[in-house]
Structure 1
């Protein structure tokens, strides 16, 4: 899928998308929303102050995609503890950090995915496609949402580093992961060109 973002005069970006591309991005964003789950406001009491100070979970999520989207702050790849005591300390710090930040992180990711869906729903496709135009703030939201979508798909494909990505290019067409790989690579191209439009 050849679509790529181009900068707009005065800031922002534009990309021509056909109906299939619009449908794919929208579907992936909806799936991401379902995975992230509802916001605290959906179950919270009527007191907005209580919601503001609501604590999040202290344990990392069990789903590997959510683990990638909400990683531990003080542990993970490249962060090794020298002793069992240090490992326990890292877990405690990670739990405390997660408790006070994960709700906000989820809300931000949810809002970015919703921004993608809303902007796609606002398009008026004609002749099989439409041109999506984003202002600078929308471009930032799209960039963060595209990153989350790629992290989610990459997690399902077991992509950890650049070498794993290189292997994806060599998958045979009959491999059942091929459609997901194509979406992952295409979203990467969109993300890369959107980053370029945001550079001064």
Structure 2
């Protein structure tokens, strides 16, 4: 059964083959989602021209959607990168322009760390290095955020409604997976906080 455990000060992850395949696919899909909105890093070589670099820092950045009307924004992007200034679209756009690329890069790096750990899983178990735990917590949370949009979960009421979907509704299975991710997050937190 999937879970995190603590043994002799080490955090261990246990997954069966089906869980490993499903979870690996989910993290890869999260990476695809984050990469689709990532800002291209390739830039012209300006040599030592500080004005060109300064001008570029104020240019538009493709992939950041804060200039789009609310009804055209991707709802998953909206949930993962919420507006810092919901009542001030101009300030929100400026804030996103200077922060969202770095936030995306950090989320991508965290997801890649998780994939590396999953790749080292042998016999259903792998060790999670202490400096990887934060990446795991954030990636599990990001997967739940993305699924919450698909499931229409925004509060306790909508969470309860999502849980009541009939088995023939395809989203019923997604809700089960959403719950599994929450259980994994809780399991990791409990393992981290367990006494030595």
Which interval holds the TM-score relative to the shorter structure? 0.7 to 0.9
Which structure 2 residues correspond to residues 112-151 of structure 1 after superposition, within 5 A? 112-124=110-122, 126=123, 130-151=124-145
RMSD: 2.7
Gaps of 5+ in 1: 76-86
Shift in alpha-carbon separation, 1:173–1:162, aligned structure 2, 3 A: same
What is the deviation of 1:53?
5.4
1:75-154 → structure 2 map (5 Å cutoff): 75=86, 87=87, 90-124=88-122, 126=123, 130-154=124-148
Q: CA deviation at 1:15?
A: 2.2
Taking structure 1 as the reference length, what is the TM-score of the superposition?
0.79
TM-score (norm 2): 0.80
Distance (whole Å) between structure 1 residues aligned to residue 45 and residue 187 of structure 2: 43
Q: Which residue of 2 aligns with 1:185?
A: 179
**Counterpart Cα distance in 2 of 1:166 and 1:141:** 29
State how many pairs are aligned.
181
The 8 Å contact of residues 13 and 133 in structure 1, kept in 2 or not, is answered as yes
The 1:152–1:189 alpha-carbon spacing in structure 2 relative to 1, beyond 3 Å, is: same
The offset of 1:116, in angstroms, is 1.3
Q: Secondary structure at the match of 2:13?
A: strand
Residues 46-84 of structure 1, C-alpha deviations (whole Å, 9 max, x = no match): 67995x958753536821111111110111xxxxxxxxx
> Which residue in the other structure is 1:83 paired with?
none
Unpaired segments ≥5 residues, structure 2:
none
Aligned match of 1:166: 160
**CA offsets, 1:116-172, max 9 Å, x none?**
111111223x4xxx1122022111101100000000011111100122222333222
Could you tell me how far 1:19 is from its partner in structure 2?
0.6
Name which of 73, 79, 101 aligns with 1:62: 73
SS in 2 for 1:15: strand
